[in-house]
Structure 1
Amino acid sequence: MKLELWRNATLVLNLDGLSILVDPMLGKKGSRGKMPMTESKLLNPLVELPFSREELHEKLKRIDAVAVTHLHPDHWDEDAVELLDKNIPIICSDVIADHIAEQGFTNIITVHDRLQWNNIEISTTRGRHGTGEIGEKMGIVNGFVFKKDNKTVYIAGDTIWYDEIALEIDQHQPQHIIVAGGAATFDVGDPIIMTSEDIIKVCTYAPESTVWVTHLEAVSHCREDRKYTRKQILENGLEKKCLILDDGEEVELYF
């Protein structure tokens, strides 16, 4: 298995020769505009994809399926809707399936709990995209677990650490966990994705798993960058099991 981060939460998971694109935000730098509910005047995404538009088109030709955790524009943007083949398999929860169908996609694989796809077991997982009123406004989100021959990867999606994440780890026993770091926060309310403190909790709770951190330095409401997050990891002695991916970086997943 291989994992490649494109930008933010957009990554490619290669399992048994099949490439699954997760949460595609494919627009050019600044194409999504200012982040709502913040005073920041920065235009999102903050950075370009780590390759040219021509390379993007070539990479999309090699994608076998797309997995979407939720429909916020830093995970599923207008460029993704425009650029992706409308017949490509779209893996998503039943909560967002109808909306994606309305956008013209014809091959939607709805995961209510779990299913088998090309000999890969795919499960949806729970998430909490913030707390209180902000968390309610952010809506329902989920993650995914991909399992092949007892090799298990858990993509937590946009969630903070809370008891359900521990339950998902207990149930699926993943060797690799991919979390959204950055402590994204609006001008009111608590962080809506994991802080460094949350990431440390994941590492502590799952000491046998390798934890990969994404969602850094690409959208303007994230408060923690790679330098800060790496410092927290080092101070907690977790640098061998908690790794921060750079945009464009591809890694081998060992089991």
Structure 2
Amino acid sequence: MKLHLWRNATLELNINGTSILIDPMLGEKGSLGVFPMTDNEMLNPLVDLPFSEKELIEKLQTVDAVAVTHLHPDHWDAKAIELVDKNTPILCSEIIADQIAQQGFLNVLPINTSILWNNIEISITKGQHGTGEIGEKMGLVNGFVLKTEKESVYIVGDSIWYDDIAAEISRYQPQHIIVAGGAATFVVGDPIIMTSEDIAKVCEYAPEASVWVTHLEAVSHCKEDRNFIQKKMNEKGLEKRCFVLNDNEQVVLS
């Protein structure tokens, strides 16, 4: 099983010989503009993809499916809607399936609890994209667990640490867990994705799993960068189990 971080939460996962692109944000640097309720005027995304548009087109031609956790533009942007072939299988929760179909996609595979696709069991998991009023405004989000006979990976998606994340880990016992770090925070309210303390709790709750951190240094409301998170993991002695991914980094999950 291989993992390739393109940028932010955009990941290419190769599992069981199948390439699944997760949460594609494919627009050029600055294409999403200023995010609302932030304390800066930075244009998002903050960085370009780590390869040219020609290379991007070539990569998209090798993708077998796309998995979308939710429809926020840093996970599913206009460029992704434009460039992803409309016949590509789109894996998503039932809640957003109609919206994606209305964008012209002809092979949307809505998941209520789980499906078996290409000999991969794909389950929908819960998430909480913040707390209080901000959490309500951010809407419903989910993650995925992908399992084969020998491998399993839990893609948490945009969520803070809370009881249901622990419950999903207990239920699926994943070998690998991919979290959205960065402690993204608006001018009001608490973080809407995991802080370094949240990530440490994931590690502590799943002592047999490796943990991989994404969603870093690409959008303007994230408060913790790679160096900060790595330092915190080192302080807790988690550096051999928790790995902070760089853009364009490719790793083998074993």
Query: Under a length normalisation based on structure 2, what TM-score does the superposition of the two structures give?
Result: 0.99
String of CA shifts for 1:50-70, please: whole Å, max 9, x gaps: 111110000000000000000
Look up the match of 2:36. Answer: 36
**1:98 CA displacement:** 0.5
Look up the match of 1:84. Answer: 84
Write the mapping of 1:61-76 to structure 2, written as runs, cut at 5 A: 61-76=61-76
Look up the match of 1:215. Answer: 215
Write the mapping of 1:50-61 to structure 2, written as runs, cut at 5 A: 50-61=50-61
1:199 alignment partner, SS class: helix
Look up the match of 1:202. Answer: 202
Give, in whole Å, the separation in 1 of the partners of 2:29 and 2:158: 21
Give, in whole Å, the separation in 2 of the partners of 1:16 and 1:140: 29
1:34 alignment partner, SS class: coil
String of CA shifts for 1:171-223, please: whole Å, max 9, x gaps: 00000000000000000000000000000000000000000000000000000
- Structure 1, unpaired ranges of 5+: none
Q: What letter matches 1:99 in structure 2? A: Q
**1:16 CA displacement:** 1.5
Q: What letter matches 1:33 in structure 2? A: G
Q: What letter matches 2:132 in structure 1? A: G
Give, in whole Å, the separation in 1 of the partners of 2:245 and 2:111: 28
Give, in whole Å, the separation in 1 of the partners of 2:188 and 2:118: 44
Look up the match of 1:153. Answer: 153
1:58 alignment partner, SS class: helix
Look up the match of 2:96. Answer: 96
Stretches (4+) displaced over 4 A: none
Give, in whole Å, the separation in 2 of the partners of 1:137 and 1:131: 10
Give, in whole Å, the separation in 1 of the partners of 2:216 and 2:150: 30
Give, in whole Å, the separation in 1 of the partners of 2:111 and 2:23: 15
Give, in whole Å, the separation in 1 of the partners of 2:236 and 2:155: 23
Count of residue correspondences: 254
Look up the match of 1:13. Answer: 13
**1:85 CA displacement:** 0.3
Query: Under a length normalisation based on structure 1, what TM-score does the superposition of the two structures give?
Result: 0.99
Look up the match of 2:136. Answer: 136
Give, in whole Å, the separation in 2 of the partners of 1:171 and 1:23: 24
1:47 alignment partner, SS class: coil
- Structure 2, unpaired ranges of 5+: none
Give, in whole Å, the separation in 1 of the partners of 2:82 and 2:245: 27
1:116 alignment partner, SS class: strand
Q: What letter matches 2:119 in structure 1? A: N
Identity %: 69
String of CA shifts for 1:30-88, please: whole Å, max 9, x gaps: 00000111131000000000111110000000000000000000000000000000000
Q: What letter matches 1:22 in structure 2? A: I
